[in-house]
Structure 1
């Protein structure tokens, strides 16, 4: 299913009367679980420290460093210890691409022991991602690198493979969050079923409209099962990566419910808004679409905090858009 709008037909609400002070207030305590800062083999416009400093200046609660090629727990722990006065907390993660050995419990365990909050299934190495990008490199590196070997968490029978089960056990043991990465929705269903059997309680599907191919019915079922749906701000706000209009965004939020939906910036790329500005633009857009301050706060702070166990939970909102 494609939920993308024709770029020439984007529906954009009037945002001219949105008070900046209102946005400032909603940025305080915001949580961005999808920051692509550097250093990285991919083009990045800011490093981890700059991302953390900017988030702190905005009064944000936390940000997650996400890199497709290396675990970020080391950087997160170092910055939290070196800069204890930062308002925002740095959170680490690990993405199970070829660079860490794929479904490699020996990479996952140290990342979790160093405080990683999210274990992402493969992204650039996902067989689904590779198929989706067969005509275009969706996430290019600064220079050409080795081709990715396609990974899937399930075998030809649709059964979760043993190495993934080991990873799931570690995620459950550390009460971490499992993200579906760039898997196809058909792979996510058996993966999440196995994850629940093994005690994983924090489940996340990122950008269900990009590579995942989740339908509205899928999103409704995921939300009803307690799975969180994160939408990438870069896909909705004014920038070169925008691909979806406000009318479709409203439908996505309705399908996933306000109580299980949140936004990550998915920013840090060059020639794009910086992560904090992307979050501000998202808040402005949501307010202009008619969501209340309480609803917006849930979708930019409370739900994400609840997912990763940060403790300043906002009440779940069951009302659809």
Structure 2
């Protein structure tokens, strides 16, 4: 007969084994303009200790590829692949094809459409929908709102050029904090231009995707990337495990990716977030093969690791 202690140990071992080979496409370690609870080196050590396969550093203000390259070179014994990408906010010139071209040539794996500088994000903050979104340690210049569309609701030429660069580089296009309506138009255009790797970041937070929007975007070939930080205990928790189960059902396991979006103050460290959410998924009777796919398998394919 299994005791409570042995049952707890068994679950911990099961979670530990499931994390082997995980891939986090959305790690918010520092240095950063926003307060972070760990730096890139510490995030690397945590992920390596849990035997993750790869880690992608994300910052709203800079391309972190150089950090990833240097850390991987300094600590080859970890066996962990390190990557980064570029968010198209004001700090990088917004919809700046030159910045995207440089990022891809340097080895960026993801281009995030505007996040903090997206007009939709600014509107969400003004209305109170994003009141818990982390703030920078020091006051920054006020953002200049960005949209992928012109005054006539058409995708702008710089955005089209950026989509062509992403397609040519065969890297990931991420939706950032544009609105669901914008993303449906942009991702349709992206598919037409040959972009094959597309993800929607936290579709139910700021972005505002309905179930119908999710199905539309999945139909265009996009993955739904759900932020673990919003389903585990901490400052950013917004949804229940049951709501996550629903979102997985809407998009399908084959089009669902779980990434930490962690590193912010008041929430768990990224790997601890993975441990908690995997426990939730096991409680929900999600199969181990499906869990492995959502926390690592799909992301590995997006990074061309297989």
TM-score normalised over the length of structure 1: 0.89
The residue aligned with 1:191 is 186
The residue aligned with 2:109 is 117
C-alpha offsets along residues 106-165 of structure 1, whole Å, 9 cap, x if unaligned? 111121112111000000000000000014472310011111000001112221111111
SS at match of 1:133: helix
| Conserved? CA contact 1:28–1:58, under 8 Å | yes
The total of aligned residue pairs comes to 297
Q: How far off its partner does 1:82 sit?
A: 2.1
| Conserved? CA contact 2:61–2:92, under 8 Å | yes
Pairing of 1:37-116 with structure 2 (within 5 A):
37-116=29-108
Q: How far off its partner does 1:89 sit?
A: 0.9
1:246 aligns with 2:238: no
Measured in 1, the distance between the counterparts of 2:303 and 2:223 equals 11
Moved more, 26-35 or 301-310: 301-310
Q: Return 5+ residue gaps in structure 1 as ranges.
A: 1-14, 312-321
The residue aligned with 2:4 is none
Measured in 2, the distance between the counterparts of 1:262 and 1:17 equals 27
Q: How far off its partner does 1:198 sit?
A: 1.6
1:164 aligns with 2:159: yes
SS at match of 1:266: coil
1:25 aligns with 2:17: yes
Cα gap change, 1:137/1:27 in structure 2, threshold over 3 Å: closer, same or farther? closer
| Conserved? CA contact 1:103–1:167, under 8 Å | yes
The residue aligned with 1:234 is 229
Q: How far off its partner does 1:209 sit?
A: 0.6
Q: How far off its partner does 1:308 sit?
A: 2.5
Higher helix share: 2
SS at match of 2:120: helix
Measured in 2, the distance between the counterparts of 1:281 and 1:47 equals 21
| Conserved? CA contact 1:35–1:266, under 8 Å | yes
1:127 aligns with 2:119: yes
Say which of 213, 217, 233 aligns to 1:218.
213
Measured in 2, the distance between the counterparts of 1:148 and 1:224 equals 33
Moved more, 35-44 or 196-205: 196-205
| Conserved? CA contact 1:228–1:307, under 8 Å | no
SS at match of 1:92: strand
The residue aligned with 1:9 is none
